[in-house]
A and B are shown apart, each in its own frame.
Chain A
Amino acid sequence: MSLTRRHMLTSTMGTVACAVALLAPKHSRGADEVEDFLFRVTGRKATPSNRLRLVMPAEFSTGYTVPMSISVDSPMTEADHVKSVRVFAPKNPLVEVAQFHFVPGRSLPRVSTRVRLAAPQHVVALAEMSNGNLLMAQAWVAVATNGCL
């Protein structure tokens, strides 16, 4: 195989693209960073948990109406239930999105809505359980056009 100028160019571009990808912020932001964010906003420590699920599209065309679904595994009894779930968008000019309050024996800890995202970001959900525990989950959303707030 002979190395042509074209070969050199394409392979160099590939290397540059890889380097840019490495320099770009990682999609999988460390749990530490999210915990720090939540601690700054709420003053409390939260634990990452699979019991809390925040479901959002990884890519979405518009930042004006991004669908969001939340659910928590919970028996919803007086002794063991979800009190509320708060949602934050750390890259929005105003980070608070919504807080959903549930009632044991009456509602299920599941909700869907649509939100505005001003930039691609990790959206963060924080569930407060009846025993005082705070659970957290995050979802990466890349919006193609940013939703102005």
Chain B
Amino acid sequence: MVPGSVPKNEVFTVKAIIQHQMETGLRTDSAGKTIPRKIINQFVCRYGGLEVFRTDLHEAVSANPFLEFQLLATENGRLEFSWREDGGATYSLYHDIVVT
């Protein structure tokens, strides 16, 4: 969730959530076998191509990891969000922001 337009040099809030099990690798299935770890291990937000916020996530982050953070509206540009999963798969989303 990102506001559509923001006054220049104002702070705006970004809320990002991805549906994900965040399997910790510490649980076992009914047969007693360990369920392999599969978590989102990194989230990156770029603004106009520049990294502005990054999070390394570990097993203790809740399922469906949610992040709320604040950025400074410096220029019109694209906000790109990417989530990296164990194994290297990434999920991305973008949102263009208008600075007035």
A93 to B4, CA, bound (A): 41
Interface size in chain A (residues, C-beta < 8 A): 30
A115 to B57, CA, bound (A): 10
Which residues of chain A from 58 to 107 have any CB-CB distance to chain B below 8 Å in the complex?
A: 64-66, 89, 92-94, 96-103, 105-107
B residues less than 8 Å from A13 (CB atoms):
none
Q: Tell me if A113 and B24 are in contact (CB < 8 A).
A: no
B residues less than 8 Å from A112 (CB atoms):
66-69
B residues less than 8 Å from A105 (CB atoms):
72, 74
Which residues of chain B from 35 to 63 have any CB-CB distance to chain A below 8 Å in the complex?
A: 47, 50-63
Number of residue pairs across A and B with beta carbons under 8 Å?
A: 97
B68, chain A: closest CB distance, angstroms: 4
Interface centre among B61, B63, B66 (most CB of A within 10 A): B61
A98 to B65, CA, bound (A): 11
A106 to B74, CA, bound (A): 8
A residues less than 8 Å from B51 (CB atoms):
103
Interface centre among B47, B60, B70 (most CB of A within 10 A): B60
Known: A94-B58, A94-B60, A102-B53. A110 touches B67 (CB 8 A): no
A109, chain B: closest CB distance, angstroms: 9
| B71 proximal to A (CB < 8 A) | yes
B residues less than 8 Å from A94 (CB atoms):
24, 26, 58-60
B2, chain A: closest CB distance, angstroms: 14
| A111 proximal to B (CB < 8 A) | yes
**Interface footprint category on B:** 20 to 34
| A51 proximal to B (CB < 8 A) | no
A residues less than 8 Å from B60 (CB atoms):
89, 92, 94, 96-98, 115-117, 149
Q: Tell me if B59 and A149 are in contact (CB < 8 A).
A: yes
Q: Tell me if B61 and A114 are in contact (CB < 8 A).
A: yes
Q: Tell me if A100 and B62 are in contact (CB < 8 A).
A: no
Contact of B69 among A93, A107, A147, A148 (CB under 8 A): A107
A89 to B62, CA, bound (A): 13
Q: A-B pairs with the 10 shortest C-beta distances?
A: A114-B62, A112-B68, A108-B70, A106-B52, A101-B54, A97-B60, A99-B56, A96-B58, A65-B62, A149-B24
Interchain Cβ contacts under 8 Å between A and B, 6 examples: A94-B60, A101-B54, A103-B51, A105-B74, A108-B70, A115-B62
